[in-house]
Amino acid sequence: MQATKRTMGIEYAIRDVLLPARELEKKGVEITKLHIGDPNKFDFRTPKHVRDALCRAVEKCDNGYEESEGNKELRQAIVEKEQKKNKLDIDINDVIVTNGVTESIQTITAAIIEPGDEILAPGPSYPSYMEFTKFFGGVPVTYRTIEEENWQPDIDDLRKKITRRTKYIVVINPNNPTGALYSDKVLKQITDLAGEHNLPIISDEIYDLMTFEGEHHSPATLAKDLPMILCNGFSKIDLLPGWRLGYSVFRDPTGELAEIKDAVQRQLRLRLSANAPCQMAVIEALKHPKDHLKGMMAKLKERGDFSTKRINEIPGLSVRKPQGAFYMFPKVESKKWKTDKEFVLDLLNNAHVLTVPGSGFDPLYGKGHFRMVFLPPIETLESAFDRIESFMKKNA
């Protein structure tokens, strides 16, 4: 039997690069894995009060199905969080709990995109926005972000790429894969364009409290009348990636998104519900002070600063200092390699450091780069950079 073209065409560079790494590990090679944004794989731990809450939830709840839209108490806690942080005028009916932000992206895309429709996402961009758009027959279009300006969106390029087939604009801020934090000026320009062309915004805010310089501001706070869907979750800030819990917030003052929300809810009824005990337990993460965040961000800032300095000292590489999240997107200045994928595989095989090809985040604006995390302790990063530096000097 042959698989469908839509499934065989799926690419997810972040996990795809793990396959050649596993082959090396079978031979006994130790790999430093800087490819995936999972803080729990390093020295970050889920707060104990949240872990304890899950143990209690397993005993307290009946361990049966939850409501398809999500636990009511959790959704109310999300409403309170979004009202406080982003000043949103929403209620519990505007919130939908999903299996991670990925399911939010998938269901929103499925609800909006017909074959031939276009979306506008930042280039480079998190792959799921592109891949799900293609999966449902749409065309992902990337708008340029400017490396020399710390990867801020190019508003002129965004404006030029809006067509009659454009269905929505994606904003990922803080940004994965570049670590950029968008300025209020740029966000306002994006919302103005969206309003001018009657386009909703999908705002990915999974790293909203994870910034080093300045604070994250949602585009929803800058354009209060614009239809918008905010996507967020608990994997990063609350150190719960394995719980697979996210949510969508429909901020829809004009009712433009009513049918889209209905279509998303229909899909979620089809998949029954997200994890019931984890939903009960994560209420504790929302309501409890995030005391772990200060120490976590201090670690990340130190590691980000260290990584920026080391990379910029290595011949043939350069990088912009990250302003949020825990990613950076170095540029391969050397012309030795024909593609960034070739570079990443060469680096893996010879320096035993696993990163992700930049073209996996956008063939146009990501090419010639690679994404890496700076989550490991300084000692691990230093060892990796020593090997990368030796590798680059041999190949200069």
Other CB atoms within 10 Å distance of the CB of residue 15: 13
pLDDT category at 380 given cuts 50, 70, 90 is very high
What is the average pLDDT value for the chain, to the nearest integer?
A: 95
CATH fold of the domain at 48-287: Aspartate Aminotransferase; domain 2 (3.40.640)
CA distances from 268 to 280, 284, 318 (A): 18, 24, 43
* DSSP β-bridge partners for residue 327: 373
Q: What percent of the chain has pLDDT over 90?
A: 92
Distance of CA 363 to the CA centre of its chain: 18
Other CB atoms within 10 Å distance of the CB of residue 217: 19
- What stretch of H or E contains 349? helix 340-351
Other CB atoms within 10 Å distance of the CB of residue 239: 22
Per the CB < 8 A criterion, the answer to whether 127 and 14 are in contact is: yes
Q: Where in the chain is the domain with CATH 3.40.640.10?
A: 48-287
pLDDT category at 391 given cuts 50, 70, 90 is very high
pLDDT of residue 146: 98
CATH of 5-45+292-394, one of 3.90.1150.10, 3.40.190.10, 3.40.50.300, 3.40.50.1100: 3.90.1150.10
Q: Where in the chain is the domain with CATH 3.90.1150.10?
A: 5-45+292-394
pLDDT of residue 61: 85
State pLDDT tens for residues 342-379: 999 999 999 999 999 999 999 999 999 999 999 999 99
Other CB atoms within 10 Å distance of the CB of residue 254: 9
Give me the DSSP letters along 80-118. Answer: HHHHHHH-----GGGEEEESHHHHHHHHHHHHH--TT-E
Other CB atoms within 10 Å distance of the CB of residue 253: 13
